Amino acid sequence: MTSFPLDEPLAPQVLARRETIPLKPAPVTLSGRFGRLGPLDLTRDLDRLHAVSNGEPAQVGERSVGSYDPDALVWRYLFDGPFATAAQLGDFLQGLIDTPNMLTFCVFDAETDSQVGVAAYTNNTPEHLKIELGHIWYSPVVQRTHANVETAYLMLKHAFELGYRRVEWKCDALNERSRRSALRIGFQFEGIQQAHFIIKGRNRDTAWFRMLDHEWPSVRQKLEEHLYM
């Protein structure tokens, strides 16, 4: 059952929301119990983000990780990376910052205020009241913690409060970890788009997931119970 009529005009108040949402999402800080999202600032964030994603041992508070394969644990299914230097990572992230319909966040660990990852609102389409959560990655030092679920919760909450009807999540169809995360968060699987991209010289089929505004209240309750109760 949907919260909007099929083959009928949408309510005027729904259509009016399209005029209030900018193409580039407005900068905002989103704070939770375990982490905080703030607009990415390369002067402040770049060196630390590179240090926790380049395969070198890393530590955040009492959590630590030894040397690791950055391709396998961070970058394999993303559009670029790994990055040998901070400058190369910076060039990539600057491209995200400059994208007209994207807002890129740095993810901070709440306890230490350390930079631990990146997430973005991307493919923002105000005329259709839809937006995507994408370009998401975390240092291995915080993988398998609450970081991913709380980041998604905070971004979903903000998006639906702004008036979006649809939030999307897409990933490489081979990325089982991302696909499991989408389902665990509460997204619904919509199918596979074959031969969607060529990434790093290889074919990418894309798995599509979505959440609709009328689904959010029950998902929100489950996420809050999981995170905070």
Q: Is residue 214 part of a domain?
A: no
The pTM is what? 0.96
Total domains, the chain: 1
Within a domain: 195? no
Whether residue 74 lies inside any domain: the answer is yes
Residue 190 lies in a domain: no
Q: Is residue 200 part of a domain?
A: no
Question: Strand order of the sheet with strand 35-39?
Answer: 30-31, 35-39, 103-109, 114-125, 130-138, 166-172, 202-212, 188-199
Q: To the nearest 10°, the Cα dihedral for 70, 73, 79, 83?
A: -10
Domain assignment present for residue 130? The answer is yes
Query: In the block, which residue shows the tokens 């998902």?
Result: 219
Full residue range of the structural domain in which residue 107 is found: 12-163
Q: What is the pLDDT along the chain (229 residues), one digit of tens a residue?
A: 455 667 889 999 999 999 999 999 999 999 999 999 999 999 999 999 999 999 999 999 999 999 999 999 999 999 999 999 999 999 999 999 999 999 999 999 999 999 999 999 999 999 999 999 999 999 999 999 999 999 999 999 999 999 999 999 999 999 999 999 999 999 999 999 999 999 999 999 999 999 999 999 999 999 999 999 9
Q: Is residue 203 part of a domain?
A: no
CA distance 114 to 118: 12
Q: What CATH number is attached to the domain comprising 120?
A: 3.40.630.30
- Identity of residue 226: H
| 210 inside domain | no
